[in-house]
Structure 1
């Protein structure tokens, strides 16, 4: 007996949701694992953060989003990463990886270019700001009901994040935030054909 379209659709939605949960869980799991390993290693992994205007500091573009200074820093990045990462997937799951890479590159390069000499920039907040920029401007570029709805939702829930892209609190990498946000906006423009 053939399955009804409703059953097929429900199975597809369930499969998609499971894939999204797996992707987000694996990414957050890697970040938390790095935190534990760094703790065991006495903070030795911090050298893999973005170190402005040094050749070795460029490797931080890849590694810095997985490194966090303490538990509070880790939790403060994990929650919005999960929420906004899922919204990026909800908009179009195919764009999660490229938007994440855009955000990593943008936040890392901006920290590398504008960061204080000798500073080390770590944390996933640059990626979070990339998701924020992507979702906030996605409605403007895509002009679809889904994208506009997500843009409004993100503006209402996290609009105050915009303040994080300006110089402010000591110890907070506004450079990473700014770079991630710009990269997210560029990704929104690049993927404007999405839903």
Structure 2
């Protein structure tokens, strides 16, 4: 019997990332349409009022370029999170949002820190390190894709541009790595076949009866022992292995 895939595509897999993107664009539209600014709702380090930015800042962007630069990585990385890590996706998002925002509040410069880049760094860091820890080829491949597309993000966790909240980026990177460690036990295990099972032995394999002691395939089994769908599948597999 073939193992079922651990990865499940559902409506929420693509629906939630689309919702996140719509929310940040709606907030920006409200600012432009009604001539208001929500910048004061960002994370303001060292101020008690600035703690509200932990929840609000990811939805606030300074201009259209800032918004556009965050839209695509937010969609792609959250899509990957909900597809590959659906059981823990909301925990990663909520804990990542709060932890990275709080860390930004603790280490940031006295200014308004706004934008979804903090949560983007949480997702990129989590997906990369979780895939490496898994040692599962699909998730390792995901890690390599993240590095290939977003590897340049690592330069923005140091103060190379005074107008960029590198503290928020660094907080996101640290938070994502920490979450990959915390949820290490929730890594999807690759499916094990019977030859990978430590308890497997040829003596208790019911399909070995299709071969004689010299490894030759027995074409004419007694009628009562032959030819269920599962038996056919396995002795065809065994025969192909012998030919190798």
- Runs of 4 or more consecutive aligned structure 1 residues displaced over 6 Å after TM superposition: none
Aligned residue for 2:146? 154
Distance in 2 separating the partners of 1:79 and 1:180: 17
Which residue is 1:123 aligned to? Answer: 115
- 2:172 matches 1:188: no
CA distance in 2, matches of 1:66, 1:166: 23
Aligned to 1:66: 59
Secondary structure of the equivalent of 2:85?
helix
TM-score by length of 2: 0.70
Contact map agreement 1:103 1:181 (CA 8 A) in 2: no
Unaligned runs of 5+ in 1: 1-8
Paired with 2:31 and 2:92, the residues of 1 have a C-alpha distance of 27
d(CA) in 2 for partners of 1:104, 1:113: 14
TM-score (norm 1): 0.86
Q: Distance in 1 between matches of 2:156 and 2:124?
A: 11
2:91 to 87, 95, 98: 98
Aligned: 1:144 with 2:164? no
Task: Quote the Cα distance in structure 2 between the aligned partners of 1:43 and 1:50.
Answer: 18
- Work out the CA distance in 1 between the residues paired with 2:32 and 2:45: 24
8 Å Cα contact 1:107/1:175 also seen in 2: no
Cα deviation, residue 24, structure 1 = 1.0
The more displaced of 41-50 and 180-189 is 41-50
Structure 1 residue 115: Cα displacement: 1.9
Between Structure 1 and Structure 2, the one with more helix by share is 1
- Map residues 14-53 of structure 1 onto 2, 5 A cutoff: 16-53=9-46
How far off is 1:109 after superposition?
1.8
Q: Answer yes or no: is the 8 Å Cα contact 2:20–2:75 preserved in 1.
A: no
- Structure 2 counterpart SS, 1:44: coil
Partner of residue 85, structure 1: 78
Give the structure, 1 or 2, with the largest relative contact order (CA under 8 Å, sep 6 or more). Answer: 1
Query: Structure 2: how far apart are the matches of 1:121 and 1:163?
Result: 18
The 8 Å contact of residues 103 and 179 in structure 1, kept in 2 or not, is answered as no
1:34-78 residue CA offsets vs partner (Å, 9 max, x unmatched): 111122343432111101110010010000000000111011001
> Structure 2: how far apart are the matches of 1:142 and 1:93?
15
- Paired residue for 1:167, among 153, 159, 163? 159
Number of equivalenced pairs: 183
1:191 to partner: Cα distance: 1.9
- Between stretches 34-43 and 82-91, larger displacement belongs to 34-43
